[in-house]
Amino acid sequence: MMHAFPCGTLPLDFVGTLRARRNAAPMEKLASPEQLDAWFVESGMLDGGAGADETDLDIAVELRESIYALVAARLDGRPMPARAIAELNRHAAGLPVTLRLHATGATRSGSVSQGLAALAREAVEILGGDDAALLRECARPECTQVYLDRSRGHRREWCAMRTCGNRVKAASYRARRHGGAEG
């Protein structure tokens, strides 16, 4: 699997395809049309590749950055940027992914624009609804993944315990052990 889905919320996992945003050299997980196709399949949005090309990739990255700008504004308590709102709404108005029932089950198919429309609609629901108050950014300094904190008491700190949570706890443990060894 090429992509990770720590949030359980596809638009926020899509935003996470640019890893470590604040680093001097963030890691781009959508560096080719093939990686965009893989994201749609691995996320479960589509059963097969959408046939992305370079233009589709540019459009997808622009939508991803618009969603991030809106999430960042919500996290910082700032007004959401009008340009990003317009971009998100433009995509949200697109055609949905095609669902078809067959004798053996169901299939999901569509173009890149249909996949992006589904992401945009879900992002609109998050940013424009009650879930916006649950938006958080991972507390691990190297991570910039955003997620919805649905934990009891809303005290979740990391995008995923198995990755960032374990790294932070292991580093804290090593620091305590190292500090205790000197004392």
Taking a C-beta distance cutoff of 8 angstroms, is the pair 114, 97 a contact?
yes
Report H helices in 22-165: 33-43, 54-76, 82-92, 112-128
**Beta-carbon neighbour count of residue 175 at 10 Å?**
10
- Cα–Cα separations (whole angstroms), residue 124 to 18, 27, 90, 133, 165: 20, 26, 11, 14, 28
**Beta-carbon neighbour count of residue 51 at 10 Å?**
10
Q: Confirm whether pTM is higher than 0.75.
A: yes
Q: Are strands 146-148 and 105-109 parallel, antiparallel or unpaired?
A: unpaired
CATH code of the region 10-134: 1.10.3300.10
Closest by alpha carbon to 96, among 66, 121, 123, 72? 121
Higher per-residue pLDDT: 71 or 144: 71
Residues, the chain, total? 183
Q: Which pLDDT score is estimated for 129?
A: 96
Q: For residue 151, what pLDDT band results from cuts at 50, 70 and 90?
A: confident
Report pLDDT digits (tens) over 6-35: 878 999 999 999 988 888 889 999 999 999
Domain ranges in the chain are: 10-134
